[in-house]
C-alpha cells in the first residue's frame, strides 16, 4: 500500500467515525461561492483543521469546512473552500480532498470557480460552463509513481467534463431563463493575475477563461473514475481597453453577485443525479 493510500484510509476512517452517511455527489466551492453551503441541510460539519492529513485553506473567501448533508433531496459532500498550488501546497495535496471524496463514495464531482474572462464579449458576472481545459501551465498531480488502486497510469482526458451533465445544466438554465456561456478554462499557477500579454497569449491558445484552480482537481477526479461538471463565474475581464487593475476583493464581490444563479443551477442539477 502506498503512503498516499494509507493516509487517505486514515482520513476516511476519521470522517466515517464521526457518524456521517454515504453520498455519491461531491461539490467543491470556489472563491466567493461558499454561500451555497447555506442551502444545505447540514448533518455534519468538519473543520479542515480536524481532519487527519488534510491541508488547511488560507485564502479569503474559502471557509475551510467539509460538510455532509442534503441538497436538492440528495446526500452530498461539500468542500466550502479549496486548496491551491499557489498557497505552497504540492499538486498531490491540492487533490487530496478529491481522492478523499472518491473513497467516501462520491461518483459525481461538481466544481465551481472564479475566473478571468478572456473571450471578447464576456461580461463580469457571466456563468461559463467549462467544456474543456488546458492544463499545460499547471503541474500535473499524477506525476510520480502511480497508485493503481486510485486509477490507471495513463488516464484518458478526451472528455474531462461530462457532456451528459453539461446538457442537463443547459436545460435547467433554459427553463429558468439563465444565460450561460461555454468555453475552455486555462489553468495557471497564480497567485498573480495575468499581464496583458499573457491574456492575449491565453486567447490565442484557445482559452476562454483563466483561473488558478479546478484543473488539477479535474485530472485527479477523472483519474479515479469520477464524472465531472465545472462552472466558472467570470469575475474580471482580462482583455479590455481601460486600466486593467484587478483586486481579489472585486473578484469576491462579482462572485457573490452571481452566486444565486449558480446555486440554483447546482441545486437543480443535484436533483437530477
Nearest to 169 by CA among 208, 109, 129: 129
Distance CA 45, CA 51 (A): 11
Cβ contacts of residue 226 below 8 Å, gap of 6+?
26, 98, 101, 102, 106, 107, 108, 109
Residue ranges covered by each domain of the chain: 3-272
Highest mean pLDDT among 19-28, 30-39, 245-254: 19-28
The residues with which 115 forms a beta bridge, in sequence order, are 234
Could you tell me the three cell numbers for 51? 481532519
Q: Tell me the per-residue pLDDT of 124-146, one tens digit each, with 9 for 90 and over.
A: 889 999 999 999 999 999 999 99
Nearest to 259 by CA among 144, 127, 110: 127
Q: Comparing 110 with 30, which gets the higher pLDDT?
A: 110
pLDDT at 43 over 90: yes
Q: How far is CA 43 from CA 136, 224, 234, in A?
A: 39, 26, 32
Distance CA 273, CA 269 (A): 7
Distance CA 39, CA 214 (A): 22
Distance CA 231, CA 111 (A): 6
Q: How far is CA 229 from CA 57, 131, 132, 205, 249, in A?
A: 22, 8, 10, 22, 26
The residues with which 70 forms a beta bridge, in sequence order, are 41, 75
Highest mean pLDDT among 60-64, 94-98, 241-245: 94-98
Q: Comparing 147 with 57, which gets the higher pLDDT?
A: 147
Q: What pLDDT is stored for residue 58 in this prediction?
A: 65
Lowest mean pLDDT among 50-54, 196-200, 242-246: 242-246
Q: Tell me the per-residue pLDDT of 219-244, one tens digit each, with 9 for 90 and over.
A: 999 999 999 999 999 988 876 656 65
User: Which CATH number among 3.30.1370.60, 3.30.750.24, 3.40.50.1580, 3.10.129.10 corresponds to the domain 3-272?
Assistant: 3.40.50.1580
Q: In the predicted model, what is the mean pLDDT of residues 84-91?
A: 94
pLDDT at 149 over 70: yes
Angle at which helices 96-103 and 3-16 pack, to 10 degrees? 60
**Is residue 42 within 8 Å of 67, Cβ to Cβ?**
yes
Average pLDDT of the residues of the chain: 91
Amino acid at each position: 500500500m502506498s503512503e498516499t493510500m494509507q493516509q487517505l484510509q486514515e482520513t476516511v476512517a476519521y470522517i466515517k467515525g464521526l457518524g456521517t452517511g454515504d453520498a455519491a455527489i461531491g461539490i467543491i466551492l470556489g472563491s466567493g461561492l461558499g454561500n451555497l453551503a447555506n442551502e444545505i441541510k447540514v448533518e455534519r460539519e468538519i473543520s479542515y483543521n480536524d481532519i487527519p492529513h488534510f491541508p488547511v485553506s488560507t485564502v479569503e473567501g474559502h471557509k475551510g469546512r467539509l460538510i455532509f448533508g442534503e441538497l436538492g433531496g440528495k446526500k452530498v459532500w461539500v468542500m466550502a473552500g479549496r486548496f491551491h498550488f499557489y498557497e505552497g501546497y504540492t499538486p498531490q495535496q491540492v487533490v487530496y480532498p478529491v481522492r478523499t471524496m472518491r473513497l467516501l463514495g462520491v461518483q459525481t464531482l461538481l466544481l465551481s470557480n472564479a475566473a478571468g474572462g478572456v473571450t471578447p464579449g464576456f461580461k463580469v458576472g457571466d456563468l461559463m460552463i467549462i467544456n474543456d481545459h488546458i492544463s499545460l501551465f499547471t503541474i500535473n498531480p499524477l506525476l510520480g509513481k502511480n497508485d493503481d488502486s486510485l486509477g490507471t497510469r495513463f488516464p484518458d482526458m478526451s472528455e474531462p467534463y461530462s457532456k451528459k451533465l453539461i446538457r442537463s445544466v443547459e436545460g435547467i438554465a433554459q427553463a429558468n431563463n439563465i444565460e450561460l456561456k461555454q468555453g475552455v478554462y486555462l489553468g495557471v499557477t497564480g497567485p498573480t493575475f495575468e499581464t496583458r500579454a499573457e491574456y492575449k497569449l491565453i486567447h490565442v491558445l484557445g482559452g476562454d477563461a483563466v483561473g488558478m484552480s479546478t484543473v488539477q482537481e479535474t485530472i485527479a477526479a477523472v483519474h479515479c473514475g469520477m464524472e465531472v461538471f465545472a462552472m466558472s463565474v467570470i469575475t474580471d475581464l482580462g482583455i479590455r481597453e481601460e486600466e486593467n487593475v484587478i483586486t481579489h476583493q472585486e473578484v469576491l464581490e462579482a462572485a457573490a453577485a452571481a452566486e444565486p444563479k449558480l446555486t440554483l443551477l447546482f441545486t437543480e442539477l443535484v436533483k437530477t443525479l
